[in-house]
Amino acid sequence: MTRAQQTLSIGLLVASLYTVCFLGLLPFPAKIQEEVVPYLPFWALISFGAFLLFKLGWGVLTFNDCPEAHEELTQQIEQARKELKMKGVSVD
């Protein structure tokens, strides 16, 4: 099963469960049915957005924690400069 199929399957499952809850096919108390269930998609969307913002912030916060990648990139830049100088290109 590919990642897209898995995501689509989970999305369809969640949508069908929400439809069952929204239509009242599951017996919930009236207060929950009227005050909670209609707002579940908005709550899920806001929670997902907050999660993505957290992941983005965490990625920015820990961006410089890759010393091996920095060293490798520096070596590649020096190698590229040497190759360009051998071909007669001025690199500053």
Q: What is the pLDDT of residues 17-41, one digit of tens each?
A: 999 999 999 999 999 999 999 999 9
Residue 28 maps to a domain:
yes
In a domain, 74, yes or no: no
Q: What is the pTM of this model?
A: 0.59
In the chain, how many domains are there?
1
Which residues constitute the domain of residue 26? 3-64
Q: Alpha helices of the chain — where are they, by DSSP H?
A: 3-22, 30-35, 40-61, 67-86
**Mean pLDDT value across residues 14-18:** 95
21 touches 35 (CB < 8 A): no
Tell me the longest C-alpha to C-alpha distance in the chain. Answer: 79
- Mean of the per-residue pLDDT values of the chain: 91
